[in-house]
Every structure is written in C-alpha cells, then in structure tokens.
C-alpha cells in the first residue's frame, strides 16, 4: 500500500501542473493527474503546492570553528532543515592541517551517523596537500567515497586558507576526475592587513567585521580563482556565498566566456543588509557576523536578478550557527574573535518563497530550480533528488502557499538563542514533508526518527 498526494499543483523547473503523486516505499511511483485513489493512504493537497524537497548544499553542522563548535549538530540541524522543507543537505568535512583528508572523512561520518534526520552528503574542505603533495591522492579516494566536490578557502589565513599553488594543484586533479571545486572567494591576506589596521586604531566592535571585508576583496578572489581554473585546464568551479554585485559580475563574465563557473548566493544576502540589520547598540551586531559579511542594501536587487538570469544558480544557507550568549560573546572587545556564521537552515524555503515568488522576483518554477533541482544536478544527486518524477526518492514537500508564519527564535528549531530573521512575516510554509516516502514533518513538528537520514554517495559530473 502506498501514499497518494492528491489534487495539488506539482512544481518542477519546467512547469506547474495539477497532478497526483504516488509514493511506493521510498520512491515516487507515478506523477499523473487523476490517479485512482483506491487502496492508498490519501494526503489531500487541494490548494497546495507539491514541491521536491529542498536541497541545501552549504551547511556547517557540528563544525569546530572560531574557538568553538557550531551550535547545531547533525540531529538538530537536519531536524530544523526538514521542518523548513529541506530534505537533503551537503555539509563540509574539514581537513585539519597536517592530517589527510581520509581522516576528516571518517570524523565527519562519525559525527553524522545515527544522528541525521534527512539524507545528507559531504564536500571535502581541503586545507593541506601534504609535505610532498601526497594527499593529492586523497582526492581520488574521496571521489570513490562519494564526495564529488571539494572546498577551498581563499580567506581565514592560518586557519583554513590555502595558497594559489594549492588551488592550482587541486584543480589539475579535479579536472582529471570531473569533480567540482567550491570556493570561498575573499582575498584573505589583504583582509588581514585591513583587520590589523582597524584593531590598531581601536576599532574593536562587531560592525568592524563587515567594514574590514570590502566587496573588492571578494570580487578579486573570484577573478583570481577563475583564472587559476583556466590555467589548470578548465576546472569546474562553484563560487559559494556570493554576497555582492562586484563578485557576481565576475561570475557573470566567466560564464559569458563559456567557462564552467557556477555560483550560489545565500538567503541572508538577499533579505538582510548593513543598513537594515547592523549598527545596533552594544554587541548585538555580533549576531550578523558571518563571512562574507552583510553588504549594503543596493546589492540585493542585482543578486535577485542574477538568480533570475541564471548568472547564479543556487540559493543555500551557509548555516553555521553560534549562540549569542556564550559563543558570539567570545569576541567582546575584539571582533576577530567572534565565531563567524549564522543560523538559517530552517528558513531558506520560507524566505525565498516569500521574498522571491510572492514578491514577483522569481517564478515558482525558478524557486524550485534554485532551491532543489539545480543544486541536486550540480552536485551529482539528480534525478534521485531535486525532482518529483517516477523513480526519484520520495522527498516531497506539501507547501501551503497561504500559510502565514512569523520567524522568531522563540519557536525555531535551530539551536541558537536568536534569529537573524527575527520578526520576518512570511506567507508560504511547509505543511507536510516526506523524506524517502516517510512523513517526517507535519504542521511544523518533526515526527520522524533521529538517525534515519542516509549518507548519499554522489557522482562526479563530466562537465
């Protein structure tokens, strides 16, 4: 006996159609209008949208960073994701300097096993190729383990940053394998000088985090890494968390030249800004200390347009939560000690639906494209994830387009004592969420079991 989601509007990147969705076991058996309901458990989706489960390809769960550990582990982070309509996440395994990538892979598999509430995959964040580049071979080993994307940081000197030589060597290898390189693009050494100058001038408050990371430092790094990818023979590159018009233009120009360059932005850069959300009294701005920082409001419209025009392909969250009271406060008196990152895994679908679709900034189909279908494609999980089609995993969101919801820390499921979207009123929310055929969320409550989420083995894509 299966479950029939009946009478809803099924949305894909291509079209929105009135159809029923039949779930048998963990997969979708049929999507068609007027499926005979006899013998099935019926979910009435009249007036509802039926969406593929969201795919968030940029999260940091249980991650040691900034002298502490991100506040959501795999259980809490994936539970919050599911409640918000996201059914797949890709998190980062972080290679420690002086240690092989294989070790990081084991560590992150142990962190996630038995905890994840939805399916998940891993990128490998590369920090060290070894004294004689011997860990370059780990790249092949990781691909064999289902990691088809590697992350490099051009920022955070002495912590995560790699130099251009490392980037070049890594890309020479990924080109051969067909793997993807994800890039945190910011000129870390220049930023470091600006930061030291600010501290020397007595500028220690949280707003200085934003003021010391200029947009040009981001744009320069995008430009440079694109050039390195060309030098390496045409490596596929995915620029993470594009936050400003200048960096977006570099992605645009690379794509206009036909290079295999893609980019994401994150919810926070689309709906928050320095003017609206920072400059608060006391230490409050620390809640908005993430990297790249919030930008001036004038960047929002170009980022929305870039999403519409396929200059950017994905909206992710960069969910990297830290509590205010005992984590962000590590940086009182010195903004460089504030753990960088913010919570958002729960709110991405709500916010992009409301400020994108409801506000007329993107079509419903494009919403599904940037939140589910394209991330699944780019990261080697399609058509298992990202689409409602026969044979795909039954990761399905029954979305109530009229449901009104006010985002607040008081009721959120993420483990922070604040929300960067506090008080935002949105229309449109997940009513039911299925993960591999199992109803895991009903009316804002997680009803699945902890640890049911499976590790996803991802394929490399020859681009």
- Contact between residue 267 and residue 414 where contact means Cβ atoms under 8 Å apart: no
184 forms part of the interface with ligand URP (CB under 6 A): yes
Nearer to Zn ion, 338 or 394 (CB): 338
184 forms part of the interface with Zn ion (CB under 5 A): yes
Residue 311 CB-density burial (10 A; 0-12 exposed, 13-18 middle, 19+ buried)? buried
Nearer to Zn ion, 9 or 184 (CB): 184
- Contact between residue 303 and residue 269 where contact means Cβ atoms under 8 Å apart: yes
Q: Which uninterrupted H or E stretch holds 223?
A: helix 215-231
DSSP 3-state assignment of 366? Answer: helix
- How remote is the C-alpha of 409 from its chain's centroid? 20
Least CB distance from residue 27 to Zn ion, whole Å?
A: 31
285 binds, among Zn ion, ligand URP, none (CB under 5 to 8 A by kind): none
User: Hey, which residues between 306 and 335 contact Zn ion (CB under 5 A)?
Assistant: 318
Nearer to ligand URP, 291 or 327 (CB): 291
320 forms part of the interface with ligand URP (CB under 6 A): yes
Least CB distance from residue 266 to Zn ion, whole Å?
A: 9
245 forms part of the interface with Zn ion (CB under 5 A): no
341 binds, among ligand URP, Zn ion, none (CB under 5 to 8 A by kind): ligand URP
Least CB distance from residue 325 to ligand URP, whole Å?
A: 19
Nearer to ligand URP, 77 or 341 (CB): 341
Distance CA(263)–CA(312), nearest Å, equals 5
395 binds, among ligand URP, Zn ion, none (CB under 5 to 8 A by kind): none
Distance CA(180)–CA(251), nearest Å, equals 15
Residue 440 CB-density burial (10 A; 0-12 exposed, 13-18 middle, 19+ buried)? buried
∠ CA 153-462-219 to the nearest 5 degrees?
30
What is the torsion angle, in degrees rounded to the nearest 10, for the CA atoms of residue 277, residue 280, residue 284 and residue 288? 30
Please, which residues bridge with residue 177 across strands? Answer: none
Least CB distance from residue 286 to ligand URP, whole Å?
A: 12
Nearer to Zn ion, 264 or 318 (CB): 318
295 binds, among ligand URP, Zn ion, none (CB under 5 to 8 A by kind): none
Nearer to Zn ion, 51 or 125 (CB): 125
- Contact between residue 89 and residue 123 where contact means Cβ atoms under 8 Å apart: no
DSSP 291-304: SSPP--GGGHHHHH
60 forms part of the interface with ligand URP (CB under 6 A): yes
Number of residues that bind ligand URP (CB under 6 A): 8
91 forms part of the interface with Zn ion (CB under 5 A): no
290 forms part of the interface with ligand URP (CB under 6 A): yes
Task: Say how many CA atoms lie within 13 Å of 359 toward its Cβ.
Answer: 15
Contact positions vs ligand URP (CB under 6 A): 60, 184, 290-291, 318, 320, 340-341
Contact positions vs Zn ion (CB under 5 A): 184, 318
């Amino acid at each position: 006996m299966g479950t029939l989601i009946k009478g809803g509007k099924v949305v894909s990147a291509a079209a929105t159609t009135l159809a029923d969705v039949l779930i048998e076991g963990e997969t979708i058996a049929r999507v068609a209008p007027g499926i005979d309901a006899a013998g099935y458990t019926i979910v009435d989706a009249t007036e509802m949208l039926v969406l593929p489960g969201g795919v968030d390809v940029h999260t940091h769960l249980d991650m040691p960073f900034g002298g502490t550990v991100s506040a959501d582990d795999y259980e809490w982070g994936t539970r919050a994701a599911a409640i918000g309509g996201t059914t797949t996440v890709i998190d980062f395994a972080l290679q420690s300097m002086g240690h092989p990538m294989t070790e990081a892979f084991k560590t992150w598999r142990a962190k996630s096993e038995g905890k994840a509430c939805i399916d998940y995959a891993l990128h490998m964040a590369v920090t060290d190729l070894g004294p004689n580049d011997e860990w370059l071979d780990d790249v092949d080993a990781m691909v064999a383990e289902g990691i088809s994307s590697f992350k490099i940081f051009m920022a955070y000197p002495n912590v995560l940053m790699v130099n251009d030589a490392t980037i070049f060597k890594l890309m020479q290898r990924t080109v051969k394998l067909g793997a993807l390189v994800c890039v945190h693009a910011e000129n870390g050494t220049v930023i470091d000088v600006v930061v030291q100058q600010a501290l020397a001038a007595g500028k220690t408050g949280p707003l200085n985090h934003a003021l010391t990371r200029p947009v040009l430092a981001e744009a320069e790094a995008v430009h440079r890494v694109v050039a390195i990818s060309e030098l390496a023979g045409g490596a596929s590159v995915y620029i993470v968390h594009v936050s400003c018009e200048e960096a977006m233009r570099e992605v645009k120009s690379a794509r206009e030249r036909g290079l295999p360059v893609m980019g994401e932005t994150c919810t926070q850069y689309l709906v928050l800004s320095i003017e609206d959300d920072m400059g608060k009294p006391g230490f409050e701005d620390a809640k908005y200390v993430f990297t790249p920082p919030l930008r001036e409001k004038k960047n929002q419209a170009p980022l929305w347009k870039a999403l519409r025009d396929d200059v950017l392909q994905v909206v992710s969250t960069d969910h990297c939560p830290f509590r205010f009271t005992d984590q962000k406060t590590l940086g009182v008196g010195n903004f460089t000690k504030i753990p960088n990152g913010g919570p958002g895994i729960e709110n991405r679908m709500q916010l992009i639906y409301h400020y994108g679709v409801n506000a007329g900034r993107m079509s419903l189909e494009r919403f599904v494209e940037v939140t589910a279908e394209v991330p699944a494609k780019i990261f080697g999980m399609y058509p298992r994830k990202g689409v409602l089609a026969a044979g795909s995993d039954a990761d399905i969101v029954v979305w109530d387009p009229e449901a009104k919801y006010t985002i607040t820390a008081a009721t959120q499921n993420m483990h922070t004592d604040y929300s960067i979207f506090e008080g935002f009123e949105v229309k449109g929310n997940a009513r039911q969420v299925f993960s591999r055929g199992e109803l895991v969320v009903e009316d804002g409550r997680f009803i699945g079991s902890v640890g049911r989420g499976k590790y996803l083995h991802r394929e490399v894509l020859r681009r």
